[in-house]
Amino acid sequence: MRKRIYSAERIPYPMKRVGKRGEGKFERISWDEALDTVAAALKKTIDQYGNEAVHLLYGSGTYQLINGNQNASKRLLNMLGGYLGAYGTYSSAQIGMAVPFTYGGLPASYITEIANAHLLVSFGNNLSVTRGSGGGMSYELTHALETGRLRTIMIDPRYSDTMLGKESEWVPIRPGTDAALVEAIAYILITEDMVDQPFLDKYCVGYDEKTLPEGAPENSDYKSYILGKSSDKTAKTPAWASEITGIPEDIIVRIAREIGTTKPCYITQGLGVQRHANGEQTSRAIPMLSILTGNLGLPGTSPGARGADSSLGEAGLPTGTNPVKTLISFFSWSDAIDRGTELTALKDGVRNKDKLDVPIKFLWVTQSNTLINQHSDSNATHKILQDDKKCEFILVVDNQMTPSTRYADILLPDVTSFEMWDLTADGYSSGILNFMISVQPSIKPFEEARPLYDVCCDLAKRFGIEKEYSEGRTTEQWAEFLYNKTREKYKDQLPDYETFKKKGMVRVNTNRDKGIGLKAFRDDPGANPLKTPSGKIEIYSARLADIAKKWTLPKGDVITPLPQYVATWESHLDPKTKQFPLQMIGHHTKGRTHSTYHNIDWLREVVPDEVWINPVDAQKRNIVAGDKVHIFNERGTVEMAAKVTNRIMPGVVSIPQGAWYKPNEKGVDVGGNVNTLTSLRPSPLAKANPQHTNLVEVKKVSGDRS
Ligand SMILES: Nc1nc2c(c(=O)[nH]1)N[C@H]1C(S)=C(S)[C@@H](COP(=O)(O)OP(=O)(O)OC[C@H]3O[C@@H](n4cnc5c(=O)[nH]c(N)nc54)[C@H](O)[C@@H]3O)O[C@H]1N2
Ligand SMILES: Nc1nc2c(c(=O)[nH]1)N[C@H]1C(S)=C(S)[C@@H](COP(=O)(O)OP(=O)(O)OC[C@H]3O[C@@H](n4cnc5c(=O)[nH]c(N)nc54)[C@H](O)[C@@H]3O)O[C@H]1N2
Ligand SMILES: [Mo]
């Protein structure tokens, strides 16, 4: 934290752009000049193009309840008439969109429930790294594994840190093919009579012919599809799936029998499996294992989607409502700059309007490095952003000079959480642990840095709405006000504000008893129907069949009413493999959160940026550990050192995501940002980031690591 607070990249004062966008040439200006410029640009955009031309970019940089979570920005923009909003997130868009077609929501069991299971089957879920919030879900998994009677099957192209000897079995799988594995498991469950038929009959729609919804074509039920009786005439046998997934047939059969005969069985998935071009299909396929075996709504089971996180439902700075109802997918913003008025509802997923009327002209970027680093195809995005006739004004507020700041017209210095008043709750992946935390300044703000709420108050003043915006409260007064609001719900656990402030942090127990996903539905489906059209689990979704008919999808994109495997572009089956034979994914690392903390040299020493490559693939290319290599495809070239390791399966490479984009004069990204190689083409249903679906080639540049 000290290294971050006093890093060479801290932004000391407000600046305005003097070079081209992306060049990073700035001149120091006063706060007054900076805020006058921002207010004038915002006013001009709204007057000339309307509020729909203003967009608040996705950003996950900080989660305080007043300054963070983009609350201060949202409140101001809403009061000024609103902005083009977004649905979905880089984190979980595909699963968030797809699984509700099956379950009417995204039901989940707590990780603590794993302690009651006899078998854990986990798809691409790296809890020790991605849910390691100093306790929470990572701790819950470790604790559950301590029961000693649990078998764990971990399905991942990479041998992740969650395994490291704690797993019973690692099953490496080709990226993007999990749904094919699920289908072959289903084939064994069905043909060896291990499905829970009474459960399927009572709770589900579309497992077999007798529960297919009216109007569904003949043989379009799940069982017919698996057994090869539907239109594709292909039985989803282990041999069939072995070709696709790269998993030996006998292993598929054995896993299927284990799942079919072990109860309770806890099936789960991380978010990496769905950050793919066919992520919606995969995320909807995995729950089929819970459904077919009736492993849901009972102790030790899970609906097969992600793990649950309890939340306090804490009060944040009220953001008001956005008067602009038009929404785009969170991932479409660069398209909405580039070819805004071409974006339509049926082709691009625009919501609440048939098409966009204006492109994005004003981008508000805060707590985000998504502008260039965390979005896809950085080189293509660079071109879109560089043209200041397209998006006419970009405001960036950050506390570090990240790659995104190079695209700012006005750049504002924010404080860190050590330099401000605020309030925060557990925020993220804390499982059944919940906290309220008092954020207090321990040092003075760095140079001229100011908290965003204060900055927004000053902007509000320029629009004559300062009183309305602040309601006369300072940040600390808001913190007290909001704390007391949350306290109303937990009077017996949360002390008065003064005591809380002194303690700094208070633990709260919330929903422990609600730990099993779909328990109420399982207990009494009549009284507790799901929010699907039928009230049941929709294995066959008539709504998806309808969407598939109505939407215009590019060639190769498919939406199916059944949760079935779809081979997609840039999979191992794509003809492009001739040129780019390796599948590339990225992974979240324990060395930073996305791009935050990338500039801390101690962390880079512990978790270096290296591309993971299997010895088989390395040998073919004459690469040894530590060699400098180029990873490239038609979108760009990344330069970094090679980590030659059996921890990744042959045919697949992985780059730790979050490194800072740094193209050199030849256009080679020597910063090592994985998004120099990822694609802007959205996934079919959620119109979301396919950032783990890529084909690349790797070649040795030199044996000298320096
Ligand atoms: N290829 C690939 N790309 C990915 C992913 C992937 O798996 N692969 N993951 C995606 C996912 S899941 C996500 S959530 C996104 C994350 O993308 P982002 O939300 O952009 O997250 P970060 O990269 O951490 O950037 C957060 C920014 O907030 C800044 N920040 C931190 N604290 C403060 C503060 O107090 N005030 C202000 N103003 N700024 C602050 C940091 O300096 C940093 O620039 O990335 C996505 N991108
Ligand atoms: N330390 C740390 N913690 C974090 C973050 C961070 O950057 N650093 N980011 C946070 C955020 S915002 C999010 S959204 C979450 C992200 O959490 P996740 O999305 O779950 O993280 P990933 O690393 O993208 O993917 C998890 C695992 O999926 C595997 N995987 C990739 N593709 C496939 C596939 O096709 N099939 C299978 N079976 N496995 C696959 C990867 O190898 C990886 O081990 O993590 C959060 N926690
Ligand atoms: Mo995320």
Q: Is residue 34 part of a domain?
A: yes
Strand partners, 643: 612
Q: Is residue 46 domain-shared with residue 184, that is, in the same domain? A: no
Over its C-alpha atoms, the chain yields an Rg (Å, rounded) of 25
Mean pLDDT of the chain: 96
Closest among 390, 392, 393 to 337, alpha carbons compared: 390
Percent of the chain topping pLDDT 70: 98
Q: Is residue 295 domain-shared with residue 243, that is, in the same domain? A: yes
Closest among 159, 164, 139, 97 to 429, alpha carbons compared: 139
H-only helix segments in 471-527? 475-487, 497-503, 519-523
Tokens 């569904």 locate to 216
Q: Does an H or E element contain 102, and which?
A: helix 93-103
Q: What are phi and psi of 321, to 5 degrees?
A: -110, 150
| Cβ atoms < 10 Å from Cβ of 500 | 21
Q: Is residue 302 domain-shared with residue 318, that is, in the same domain? A: no
Quick check: CB of 370 below 6 Å from ligand 1? Answer: yes
Quick check: CB of 275 below 6 Å from ligand 1? Answer: yes
**pLDDT, position 136:** 82
Q: Is residue 2 part of a domain?
A: no
Nearest ligand, measured from the Cα of 588? 2
Whole-angstrom Cα distance, residue 333 to residue 354?
A: 17
Q: What is the 89 CA–ligand 3 centroid distance (Å)? A: 7
Q: Is residue 459 part of a domain?
A: yes
**pLDDT, position 147:** 81
Q: Which of 397, 418, 594 to mutate to test the pocket of ligand 1 (most atoms within 8 A of CB)?
A: 594
Q: What is the 450 CA–ligand 2 centroid distance (Å)? A: 33
pLDDT in tens, 285-321: 999 999 999 999 999 999 999 888 888 889 999 999 9
Q: Is residue 228 domain-shared with residue 138, that is, in the same domain? A: yes
Asked if pLDDT for residue 705 goes beyond 60, the answer is no
For residue 608, the domain's CATH number is 2.40.40.20
> Which of 477, 507, 537 is a domain's end point?
507
DSSP state letter for 373: I
Residue whose CA lies nearest to ligand 2 atom number 4 = 130
Q: Is residue 347 domain-shared with residue 473, that is, in the same domain? A: yes
DSSP state letter for 61: S
**pLDDT, position 511:** 64
Range of the domain at 382: 10-90+313-420+435-507
Whole-angstrom Cα distance, residue 363 to residue 45?
A: 10
Asked if pLDDT for residue 436 goes beyond 60, the answer is yes
Is the backbone of residue 600 left (phi > 0), alpha (psi -120 to 50) or beta?
beta
For residue 486, the domain's CATH number is 3.40.50.740
CA dihedral for 32, 35, 41, 44, sign (positive or negative): negative
Quick check: CB of 690 below 6 Å from ligand 1? Answer: no
Is 69 or 394 the better-scoring residue by pLDDT?
Answer: 394
Q: Is residue 158 domain-shared with residue 189, that is, in the same domain? A: yes
Quick check: CB of 674 below 6 Å from ligand 1? Answer: yes
**pLDDT, position 80:** 98
Residue whose CA lies nearest to ligand 2 atom number 21 = 272
Nearest ligand, measured from the Cα of 688? 1
**pLDDT, position 91:** 97
Q: Is residue 601 domain-shared with residue 672, that is, in the same domain? A: yes
Quick check: CB of 10 below 6 Å from ligand 1? Answer: no
Cis before 495? omega within 30? no
CA-175 nearest atom, ligand 2:
35
Nearest ligand, measured from the Cα of 271? 2
For residue 191, the domain's CATH number is 3.40.228.10
pLDDT in tens, 384-406: 999 999 999 999 999 999 999 99
Quick check: CB of 450 below 6 Å from ligand 1? Answer: no
CA dihedral for 286, 289, 292, 297, sign (positive or negative): negative
Q: What is the 589 CA–ligand 2 centroid distance (Å)? A: 8
Q: Is residue 657 domain-shared with residue 580, that is, in the same domain? A: yes
Q: Is residue 103 part of a domain?
A: no
Q: Is residue 281 domain-shared with residue 331, that is, in the same domain? A: no
Whole-angstrom Cα distance, residue 82 to residue 89?
A: 20
Q: Is residue 477 domain-shared with residue 536, that is, in the same domain? A: no
**pLDDT, position 228:** 98
The pocket around ligand 2, CB under 6 angstroms, is made up of 60, 91, 123-124, 126, 129-130, 155-158, 160, 173, 175-176, 178, 270-273, 275-276, 585, 587-590, 593-594, 658, 692
Residue whose CA lies nearest to ligand 1 atom number 12 = 91
Mean predicted confidence (pLDDT) in 126-154: 87
Closest among 184, 211, 192 to 542, alpha carbons compared: 211
Q: Is 393 helix (H, G, I), strand (E, B) or coil?
A: strand
Nearest ligand, measured from the Cα of 404? 1
Q: What is the 156 CA–ligand 2 centroid distance (Å)? A: 10
Q: What is the DSSP string of 197-245?
A: HHHHHHHEESSSGGGPPTTPPTT-SHHHHHHT-STT-----HHHHHHHH
Residue 410 pLDDT grade (very low, low, confident, very high; cuts 50, 70, 90):
very high
Q: Is residue 570 part of a domain?
A: no
Residue 706 pLDDT grade (very low, low, confident, very high; cuts 50, 70, 90):
very low
Whole-angstrom Cα distance, residue 297 to residue 285?
A: 18
Nearest ligand, measured from the Cα of 130? 2
Q: Is residue 97 part of a domain?
A: no
Residue whose CA lies nearest to ligand 1 atom number 46 = 374
Quick check: CB of 679 below 6 Å from ligand 1? Answer: no
Q: Is 537 helix (H, G, I), strand (E, B) or coil?
A: strand
Q: Is residue 569 part of a domain?
A: no
Q: What is the 127 CA–ligand 3 centroid distance (Å)? A: 13
**pLDDT, position 578:** 98
Nearest ligand, measured from the Cα of 274? 2
Residue whose CA lies nearest to ligand 2 atom number 24 = 272
Quick check: CB of 211 below 6 Å from ligand 1? Answer: no
Asked if pLDDT for residue 411 goes beyond 80, the answer is yes
Nearest ligand, measured from the Cα of 63? 1
Percent of the chain topping pLDDT 90: 92
Q: Which of 595, 635, 661, 683 to mutate to test the pocket of ligand 1 (most atoms within 8 A of CB)?
A: 595
Total domains in the fold of the chain: 3
First to last CA, the chain: 27
Q: Which of 128, 130, 283, 593 to mutate to test the pocket of ligand 2 (most atoms within 8 A of CB)?
A: 130
Whole-angstrom Cα distance, residue 180 to residue 236?
A: 8
**pLDDT, position 704:** 57
Residue 428 pLDDT grade (very low, low, confident, very high; cuts 50, 70, 90):
confident
| Tokens describing residue 439 | 């954020």
Closest among 95, 150, 161 to 127, alpha carbons compared: 161
Q: What are phi and psi of 553, to 5 degrees?
A: -115, 145
Whole-angstrom Cα distance, residue 576 to residue 584?
A: 13
Quick check: CB of 71 below 6 Å from ligand 1? Answer: no
Q: Does an H or E element contain 652, and which?
A: strand 652-656
Residue whose CA lies nearest to ligand 2 atom number 8 = 593
Q: What are phi and psi of 103, to 5 degrees?
A: -110, -5
Contact 696, 651 (CB under 8 A): no
CA-398 nearest atom, ligand 1:
38
Q: Is residue 534 domain-shared with residue 501, that is, in the same domain? A: no
| Tokens describing residue 115 | 């302690």
Q: Is residue 501 domain-shared with residue 352, that is, in the same domain? A: yes
Give this prediction's pTM: 0.97
Closest among 186, 266, 170 to 224, alpha carbons compared: 186
pLDDT in tens, 265-278: 999 999 999 999 99
Contact 1, 418 (CB under 8 A): yes
Taking each helix axis as running N to C, give the angle between helix 178-191 and helix 249-261, from 0 to 180 degrees, rounded to the nearest 10.
60
Asked if pLDDT for residue 219 goes beyond 50, the answer is yes
Q: Is residue 564 part of a domain?
A: no
> Which of 507, 533, 558 is a domain's end point?
507
